[in-house]
Amino acid sequence: MPTTFKAMTRDGYSWKILAELLHNNIKTACFEIDSDGIRLRMMDHHRTILIDLELDADKFSVYKYKSDDKMYLGINLTHFHKMLKSIKKRDSIQLFITDDAPTDLGIKVIPKENNRVTTSFIKIQTIQNLDIDLPEGYGRPVIVPSSEFQKMCKGLTHISNETHVTSKGFLIRFSSDAGGVMKRFTEFGEAEDTDSDTEEDKDDSPEYDEKFDTEQLTRVTKLAGLHTAMQIYPKQENPLLIRSDVGSIGRISIYLKSKSLQAAESAVAESDDE
C-alpha cells in the first residue's frame, strides 16, 4: 500500500520509553515530520518543563517521506503510550501513514522472531504548533549515569517536595531537606582541583544554586531508560538542561524551570496585566 510517511527502526524499546516520558508531561504532542526526520518542541501544561526532541531520518533503517512540505501530527499521548506499552527489548517498530488514510498514524510492532506482527492505528488530530525559542549560553555538562539519576530521583520523593540543586565546575549536587528531620544529598561528577595555596583563597560558593519542585524531576525520570548516560547543564538564570540520546535514533533535551524563574515570570505577567 503506498505510504506518505514511513519510519522503521529496530530500536522499538526506545520508542516505548519515549512515549511514556512524553505522556508524563504532555497530553497531546505535535510531531513535525519532513525529509530530515521527526521533531517535537513543546512545553507542559504548567509551562515549567520544555521538551525538545530530534530523531534523525538517517538513523532509521527505513525512512521515507514523499512531500516537500512539513507535516504536523497531533497525537494523543495517552493513546500512543497504550499502543506501545507491550513493546519488548529488541522489538522493531514501524510508523507509517498511507496515502488512502492520511488522518491515521499506523504503528507496526515486529518482534525479533517475527512471529507475531501487531498493527495499530491512532487518529491524527489537528493541533496548533507554537514556535518556542530554546535557552542558550550553556557551558560544558556534568556527565551522569542514567541509572543513578533514576535512583536519586526516586529517593528524593520520600524526603521533600522541594529539591535544591547546586553545582560548581563539574560537580553537581541534588539535595532534599524535610525540615531538618531528614536530609539527603546526591553528588555527580568531579570536584575541580584548586590552585589556591591557602584555605582563605578557596571559593566554595556554588556557580549554580536553584530550587525545584521534586515533582518536576520525577516526571522526567523515564529519561534514564533512553541511554546509559545523560548530560546535565547547569547555568544560573537559565532552566536546568538535561540531555540524552534516544537509543540510536536521536536526542532529547529537557529544560526545567527553577522556582525562582517561575516566580520571576509570574511577576512579569502580573505587571503586564496591570
pLDDT band (50, 70, 90) for residue 171: very high
In a domain, 133, yes or no: no
pLDDT at 56 over 60: yes
Residue for cell digits 553545582? 167
In a domain, 72, yes or no: yes
In this structure, the answer to whether residues 74 and 160 fall within a common structural domain is no
In a domain, 131, yes or no: no
Question: What are the residues whose beta carbons fall under 8 Å from the beta carbon of 79, sequence distance 6 or more?
Answer: 122
Question: What are the residues whose beta carbons fall under 8 Å from the beta carbon of 128, sequence distance 6 or more?
Answer: 30
User: CB atoms < 10 A from the CB of 121, how many?
Assistant: 16
Overall domain count for the chain: 2
In this structure, the answer to whether residues 114 and 160 fall within a common structural domain is no
In this structure, the answer to whether residues 161 and 260 fall within a common structural domain is yes
In this structure, the answer to whether residues 171 and 118 fall within a common structural domain is no
- pLDDT value of residue 274: 60
C-alpha cell at 177: 531537606
pLDDT band (50, 70, 90) for residue 147: very high
Mean pLDDT value across residues 17-30: 96
- pLDDT value of residue 83: 95
Mean pLDDT value across residues 160-171: 94
In this structure, the answer to whether residues 268 and 148 fall within a common structural domain is yes
In this structure, the answer to whether residues 9 and 47 fall within a common structural domain is yes
State the CATH number of the domain containing residue 84.
Answer: 3.10.150.10
Total-model pTM: 0.92
Tell me the pLDDT tens digit for each residue of 69-116: 999 999 999 999 999 999 999 999 999 999 999 999 999 999 988 788
- pLDDT value of residue 196: 53
In this structure, the answer to whether residues 150 and 118 fall within a common structural domain is no
In this structure, the answer to whether residues 19 and 115 fall within a common structural domain is yes
pLDDT band (50, 70, 90) for residue 197: low
- Rounded CA separation 56/251 (Å): 9
- pLDDT value of residue 273: 64
In a domain, 129, yes or no: no
Q: Which residues of 156-167 are buried (b: 16+ CB within 10 A; e: fewer)?
A: beebbebbbbbb
Structural domain for 213, as ranges: 142-194+204-273
In this structure, the answer to whether residues 112 and 72 fall within a common structural domain is yes
Task: Give the residue from 74, 90, 123 where a domain finishes.
Answer: 123
In a domain, 252, yes or no: yes
In this structure, the answer to whether residues 267 and 169 fall within a common structural domain is yes
